[in-house]
Structures are given as structure tokens and as C-alpha cells.
């Protein structure tokens, strides 16, 4: 099973909550990623491309597995900070 996702990475939980709310209310995810994310993927609108099991840290991978296609997560904490994740693809 492979997944494709975009994310926005920030250090502050309150900011992560604010961004997640904006994204869920319809703000453009890629625009939010370019504006707020601290990850180099921000230049691609947060797109992380395709990845399989074990390629992402467990908390991130588990959150992506649980998300429905094109849905946006609540902030997910990892050792890197807080991620807002949008699942953009899945293939067997």
C-alpha cells in the first residue's frame, strides 16, 4: 500500500490548530503550506510525493492511514513538530 500526502509543519501547537481550521474551512492547502510550513516541501505546496510503509515516522504514517482521501487531519505531533496532513492519494 502506498500513500501520497501533503503537509504543513510548524513548531507551535496553537498555530497548527489555527492552520488546520483554516484548511478545513476551505483555504487552499498549498497556499497555506507555502506561507506557514517550515519543511522544505513548502516550495511544492507541502507535497511529499508517494511513500510506503516505514518511510515516514510512525505517528505521521498512522495519521495518513486513518485519513480519508482528500481530507485534512488535526495537528499530528512528531519529533519534528506539528503536522497538518492532507491525504492526496492511495494505491494498492
- Dist. CA 26–CA 40, nearest whole Å: 23
- Dist. CA 56–CA 25, nearest whole Å: 27
**Beta strand 81-91 with 2-10: parallel, antiparallel or unpaired?**
antiparallel
What pLDDT, on a 0 to 100 scale, did the predictor assign at position 34? 98
Domain count for the chain, please give it. 1
What domain range includes position 30? 2-91
Q: What are phi and psi of 59, to 5 degrees?
A: -60, -40
What pLDDT, on a 0 to 100 scale, did the predictor assign at position 90? 95
Give 10-residue mean pLDDT values along the chain (92 residues). Answer: 97 98 97 98 98 96 96 98 98 92
Q: What are phi and psi of 42, to 5 degrees?
A: -60, -30
pTM exceeds 0.85 for this model: yes
Domain CATH number, residue 59: 3.10.50.40
Amino acid at each position: 500500500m502506498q500513500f501520497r500526502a501533503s503537509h504543513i509543519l510548524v513548531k507551535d501547537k496553537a498555530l497548527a490548530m489555527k492552520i488546520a481550521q483554516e484548511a478545513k474551512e476551505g483555504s487552499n492547502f498549498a497556499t497555506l503550506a507555502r506561507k506557514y510550513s517550515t519543511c522544505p516541501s513548502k516550495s511544492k505546496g507541502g507535497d511529499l510525493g508517494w511513500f510506503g510503509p516505514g518511510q515516514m515516522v510512525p505517528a505521521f504514517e498512522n495519521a495518513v492511514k486513518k485519513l480519508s482521501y482528500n481530507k485534512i487531519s488535526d495537528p499530528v505531533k512528531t519529533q519534528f513538530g506539528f503536522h497538518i496532513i492532507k491525504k492526496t492519494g492511495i494505491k494498492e
